[in-house]
Copies of this chain bind each other. A is one copy, B any other.
Amino acid sequence: MIDGPAVTVAEFETPALLLDLDIMEANLASTAARLRERGIALRPHAKTHKSAEVARHQLDHGAAGLTVATIGEAEVFARHGFTDLFIAYPLFATGTKAARLAELARRVKLRIGVESVAGAQALAGALAGANGPAPAEVLIEIDSGQHRTGMQPAAAGELAAACRSLGLDVAGVFTHGGHGYASPGSGPGAAADEDAALWSAAKQLTGAGFDVREVSAGSTPTAAFPGSHITEERPGTYAFNDRQQLVLGSCQPGQIAVTVAATVVSTTVSGQAVIDAGSKALASDRPAWLTGHGAVPDLGGAVVMALSEHHGLVDLAGHSAPAVGTVVTVIPNHICTAVNLFDRYTLVRSGQPAGTWPIEARGHLS
């Protein structure tokens, strides 16, 4: 059985996204302390929480700045006073996106990912801008084994040189060792891959005359095992954790800070309880190594085995059927996409309701 957070479920309307502030703060503190001891900067990925309040707590715990995925997310955090942002994504910015990016670069310290000449050309055009040049640094994205995006390390120097000839300021290299999610136990190997690939790429850049100021890696499964060449880690999920991280071994049950509260609405099918959290509250993400769509600790670790949009079908697995109207909490498989479905957090402090926080950057996809 997986234990959930010890919240007193009070009067609120389900489905609701519960954020236990005590657990979140402990998560932020422990990861920050671990990286600080190693002399590695922490730049949390804000795509997980999309919240200015959570981001402020991360900076209060010593984060160097924020990572975001889109120009829109960067704009939201800039509007809320965050001044050091890395868009860790191979943007292709033309048209209005180019104008928005240039405007952003004039207001905050901005870093942007690059992994193709075409992307670099668009970026150089965007930053040259109609209103004169806008300052930004670029980091070359490296493929450390996920095979999603990024240059092979041996080709990094060539792309960096192309960036330089386009007038871009290359500050270093970055990667996302997403293959740390391949299966439980993959984290340490993926972290070693991140370190090796980035170091190989960094040497290419140094050899081509670049001053490599940042060697940035990150994901929650790999950030626990930072390699010796890493200068910065960019985990996101560590703030909240989720069922994936539990099964991967990246967190303990007591470190689950966000859950979805749901009401049992039906028990007409034997062995099954239906809750009012479906794919529009839990999201449908499910890696091949995980069965079902969420754990229900209140029902002895029963699992949400199928989702409709507003129905979660819980296989009771021998647990007695709860009464219709019972409120339970669910640990979603992937908290980033679940958070993305809500407009606000329902806060819990010391087991008691403690107000709400908006999820300001939700829906800022472009």
Looking across the interface, which residue of chain B has its beta carbon closest to that of A147?
A: B269
**Is A266 on the interface with B (CB-CB < 8 A)?**
yes
CB of B116 within 8 A of CB of A267, answer: yes
CB of B265 within 8 A of CB of A119, answer: yes
CB distance from A340 to the nearest CB of B (A): 5
Tell which of B268, B279, B365 touches A280, judged by Cβ atoms closer than 8 Å.
Answer: B365
CB of B309 within 8 A of CB of A366, answer: no
Tell me the dominant secondary structure on chain A's binding face. loop
Tell which of B47, B147, B267, B363 touches A309, judged by Cβ atoms closer than 8 Å.
Answer: B47
Tell which of B90, B96, B178 touches A13, judged by Cβ atoms closer than 8 Å.
Answer: B96
Give the complex CA separation of A96 and B69 in angstroms.
37
Give the complex CA separation of A286 and B285 in angstroms.
10
A91: chain B residues at CB < 8 Å are 265
Which of A19-27, A35-43, A148-156, A162-170 touches B? A148-156
Interface string of A98-138 (1 = CB under 8 A from B): 00000000000000000110110010000000000000000
29 A-B pairs with C-beta separation under 8 A:
A11-B95, A13-B95, A13-B97, A14-B366, A47-B309, A70-B310, A89-B265, A89-B276, A89-B310, A90-B265, A90-B266, A116-B266, A116-B267, A119-B265, A119-B266, A143-B268, A148-B313, A149-B268, A152-B268, A276-B366, A280-B340, A283-B283, A283-B284, A284-B284, A309-B337, A309-B340, A310-B365, A340-B341, A342-B363
